[in-house]
Chain A
């Protein structure tokens, strides 16, 4: 049997739907718990709505990008498997394609050639999914991350704030500079986005319009993206 004949069958959409429902339920539960607790502790519904709106605006660009990038995986294997992996299964598209190639090698085949058969496809489905196990295991033991943090900081709230702030800036220093070092449009995209973002957040304070902060990241990422594309041609 040709693997392409079954790669987009109902079975893979059902598998994707199951993980998606779990992910959606988890997010809905956390959202409800956090909002209820905040409302019971002096926050107004309007305040939490502003947080949600800011996050929703920020999500637009990356979600569209995820869909566009997912095309590569959908074309290479199947839309159903792309949905099953991308909706909840973790992993960037490039990682997933690398894992398909790894699975094919393990099965003694080569992905993207006629040599790739049903055996390679079965290996790819399993390997792509078990590569995500580590994160699920870390999720299961999340409560111990909190205990480790408490043990390291001794519950010192100032130190907790320092660690959070340092983590935020260090992670994005890495991702930004790592992309900027690729030169050309990548450097321009990073630099324009950095400057636009800083300007918009400061502008919101200067003109006393905090609502602008909800839009700042969304606007900055689109301007940075377009600047990078224009320079790259």
Chain B
């Protein structure tokens, strides 16, 4: 299989490819940042389009008081995730991966699992240059599948409700997401079992102290990273 053959050429003792950092920065990262910045800015501006069209076509636009109040309510939910998601995902998915997650969302339930399986298939380490390339391929694949699928789903919403039995819709609605998280967690436990006890302990510490969800993610992620860094420094335990 190609996955085993990939270890034969241009690979170090741990199976990681020897990629020239200068070529990586010049030929890959530079264009990724250029297009990533432009497309992220374009999406930022495009988020205004529905409201602009609603105003131009139907003369409807909320009052400033409504905007300020609604924005404040929306931010109470969103702000913690503005901190937790880049801290959690960026080290795993790298630059191109983060551009795509910040643009298309669905980080935990779709993008990161696809990056993870691509990393596993390639035998690449997250955080490495090879890992960044592989994660980009995995996440881009998920985006190229999900956007057309969502379009088809939105167009056929009535038919979907009639074709699929209620128990199957209920199973997907309630239990697929926990199962996705469990499946990815199982994979990561195999890859980084030495860090699992610390992350579990930090989760339960936050759980019993009733720390809000988004801050529990930040504490669990940063605490586990700190623990891993200390294990590397004092005991030379590598990932």
Q: Which residue of B lies closest to A18 (CB)?
A: B46
The reply to whether A163 and B229 contact each other, CB–CB distance below 8 Å, is yes
Note all chain B residues with C-beta closer than 8 A to A136: 40-41, 43-44, 47, 102-103
Size of interface on B: residues with Cβ below 8 Å to A: 164
A145 to B90, Cβ gap below 8 A? yes
Known contacts A136-B44, A171-B217, A171-B221; is A11 also within 8 Å of B53 by CB?
Answer: yes
A-B contact pairs, 29 of them (CB 8 A): A18-B49, A28-B144, A30-B139, A34-B137, A38-B133, A55-B137, A58-B117, A63-B146, A66-B106, A106-B62, A106-B65, A106-B73, A108-B66, A122-B54, A126-B51, A145-B98, A160-B91, A163-B127, A166-B221, A168-B112, A170-B88, A170-B202, A170-B220, A171-B88, A172-B188, A175-B108, A177-B200, A181-B207, A197-B185
Contact between A30 and B44 (Cβ–Cβ < 8 Å)?
A: no
Dominant SS at the A interface?
A: helix
**A residues within 8 A CB of B169?**
68, 71
B2 and A119 within 8 A (CB): no
B interface: dominant SS: helix
A228 CB to nearest chain B CB (Å)? 4
- Known pairs A34-B28, A162-B232 / 10 extra A-B pairs, C-beta < 8 Å: A6-B57, A57-B117, A65-B177, A125-B54, A127-B70, A163-B225, A170-B225, A173-B196, A173-B202, A213-B117
Is there an interface contact between B183 and A217, defined as CB atoms closer than 8 Å?
A: yes
Contact: B95 with A142, CB < 8 Å?
yes
Contact for A164 among B103, B127, B150, CB less than 8 A: B127
Interface string of A132-157 (1 = CB under 8 A from B): 11111111101101100100000001
Whether A58 pairs with B122 at a CB distance below 8 angstroms is no
- Report yes or no: B36 in contact with A158, Cβ–Cβ below 8 A: no
Question: Chain B 178-206, CB within 8 Å of chain A: the 1/0 string?
Answer: 11111111111111100110011011100
* Cβ-defined contact, B224 with A169, below 8 A: yes
Q: Give CA–CA (A198, B137) in the complex, Å.
A: 23
- Report the 7 A-B pairs with minimum CB-CB distance, sorted nearest first: A224-B179, A164-B127, A193-B182, A90-B105, A139-B40, A139-B102, A197-B186
B170 A229 Cβ-Cβ under 8 A: yes
Contact B91 A163 (CB under 8 A): yes
Q: CB within 8 A of B88: which of A54, A71, A119, A167?
A: A167
Chain A residues closer than 8 Å to B189, beta-carbon distance: 169, 194, 198
